[in-house]
Amino acid sequence: MSLVEPDDIDGGESLSLHQRILSDIREKILSGAWAPGHRIPFEHELTARYNCSRMTVNKALSQLAKAGLIERRRRSGSFVRQPQSQAAVLELHDIRIEVEALGLPYRYERLERLKRRSSAEDRGLLGLSASGPVLALESLHFAGERPFALEQRLINLSAVSEAADEDFLDIAPGPWLIGRVPWSEAEHRIRAMAADETIADALDIDAGAPCLVVERRTWSAEHPVTHVRFIYPAESHTLVARFTPSQG
Amino acid sequence: MSLVEPDDIDGGESLSLHQRILSDIREKILSGAWAPGHRIPFEHELTARYNCSRMTVNKALSQLAKAGLIERRRRSGSFVRQPQSQAAVLELHDIRIEVEALGLPYRYERLERLKRRSSAEDRGLLGLSASGPVLALESLHFAGERPFALEQRLINLSAVSEAADEDFLDIAPGPWLIGRVPWSEAEHRIRAMAADETIADALDIDAGAPCLVVERRTWSAEHPVTHVRFIYPAESHTLVARFTPSQG
DNA sequence: CGTTTCAATATGTATATACATAATCGCTAT
DNA sequence: ATAGCGATTATGTATATACATATTGAAACG
């Protein structure tokens, strides 16, 4: 039941002690050797075991607690938590990068650009309470000859006024916004949908064909910035999300 | 351009200094006041500004760096990073909880249960290299009277031998596995698909209707544990993922 | 017997200090 | 000029120490 033999301590790689303690304990938990509910050695025990100061041990344990692997209780000690609610990290790439990763030539085409006062629907999508100017954009992303995704976007001009002067013919709104607007929060909705006439037409697929729809709403410091809907033909797209419990 | 007035320092809530520094700087970055590339005050400046030790400042900055908001360079200082590649945290609930959250009665029904040696397809789905015993399960999750999701699952019996003795008539494989097997990693694939005859039949929808498919592969300490495919009728399901840049 | 009080304990936060390490600037010798 | 060298600087990691705080367990008390 020992974490490491004292002699092993200096035998490791050039990992910092802090990292060493972290990965040791994480390993114990993930391998199941320490089941949920198991009490982890007290800080002073780990201090002795690793022959280091309490601060170092404390930093490692605090980190494990923040990652949700363990729970710390004063006077009682630290305990392995029940397996957490599962959460996955979903990487949302730039469409250009995605297409180029497939080895296909990327092309972007702006279809429509309309400046208007926000309709009730616009406000619903953006999460705006009051009316104001918005920019509505519709664009196509191509992989080689075939349409890869249809993009329907709303930009809140009250939050990003410079967008009013941009025609978005040469640059897609996504890359344009990134780097210009620091975003603090985003919400995604992912669903399946049958293509209606308009969408089928744009994507060059049959009406009624299944599509994957990814909608993203972005805020920057409490202000709604943009709402975007990407529509992918089912065959062309799979989202991949990978999960590793802790962020060591 | 000052972070806080010296007098304000004690005027705050009962936040720890560490938390205080963290949220102050995060606010500056997210609000855009400190643009990407901006150099953050040196540790010794913050030390003076908050009237605290370098360790405290260092801990806060290290945390911001780990969260990806800033980049630290020796001898040069710390800088606000370019907006990172977007990543979303996708919560994957238990289906029972999901259904009950809709206010509908939940019911589970096991359709098929088959123990067999892994086929080539099974091995592909599970990520197994060698052949071995697997358990194939097909089940339906209901919301009220209507089918809510079809579950197609493979369990690697070499990793979870107890599953061979369970009939899964009264408990769904998901809840059964959770808590029994500590899982270390999972991979999700999310896509849209048209329902074929079999699926349409099980879910009581039209053949060709769009469905959302979520596939999950789970490992525990390097061993493949299970592969599951949830098929939802498009109308019944939307995945929601929310993102906040830092995990303060 | 139940309640209150108090001491012990483990974690939480902060300090001052020390030395290691990487990157940069400026000086010097070629 | 420039290649190399060393001093300087900011961060990285660790230590010993101190006191705060929440919680538990046991002793003291009504």
Quick check: A200 contacting B, CB < 8 Å? no
- Cβ-Cβ pairs closer than 8 A, A with B, add up to 179
* Structural contact between residues A234 and B194, judged by C-beta atoms closer than 8 angstroms: yes
Q: Of A173, A240, A181, which Cα lies nearest the Cα of B188?
A: A240
Domains in chain B with CATH codes: 6-80 (1.10.10.10), 89-242 (3.40.1410.10)
Q: Are the beta carbons of A83 and B178 separated by less than 8 Å? A: yes
Per-residue pLDDT of chain B (248 residues; tens, 9 = 90+): 433 333 333 334 568 999 999 999 988 987 788 988 999 999 999 999 999 999 999 999 999 998 888 999 999 999 998 766 566 677 777 899 888 888 899 999 999 999 999 999 999 999 998 999 999 999 999 999 999 999 999 999 999 999 999 999 999 999 898 768 877 778 889 999 999 999 999 999 999 999 999 999 988 867 899 999 999 999 888 888 776 554 33
pLDDT in tens, B97-132: 888 888 899 999 999 999 999 999 999 999 998 999
Is A143 a residue whose pLDDT tops 50?
Answer: yes
Q: Which of residues 44-63 of B touch strand D (CB under 7 A)?
A: 44, 54-55, 58, 61-62
**Which residue from B minimizes the CA distance to A174?**
B86
Residues of A in contact with B239 (CB under 8 A): 188-191
* Structural contact between residues B188 and B216, judged by C-beta atoms closer than 8 angstroms: yes
Measure CA B86 to chain center: 14
Measure CA B104 to chain center: 25
pLDDT in tens, B135-159: 999 999 999 999 999 999 999 999 9
**Which residue from A minimizes the CA distance to B86?**
A92
Q: Are the beta carbons of B193 and A187 separated by less than 8 Å? A: no
Quick check: B32 contacting A, CB < 8 Å? yes
Residues of A in contact with B176 (CB under 8 A): none
Residue type, A82: Q
Tokens 């999750």 belong to which residue?
B141
Non-local (6+) Cβ contacts of A161 within 8 A are none
* Structural contact between residues B68 and B84, judged by C-beta atoms closer than 8 angstroms: yes
Distance CA B140, CA B146 (A): 10
Which positions 64-83 of B are in contact with A (Cβ < 8 Å)? 66, 82-83
Per CA to C1' distance, which residue is closest to C23?
Answer: B75
Distance CA A213, CA A197 (A): 16
* Structural contact between residues A178 and A92, judged by C-beta atoms closer than 8 angstroms: no
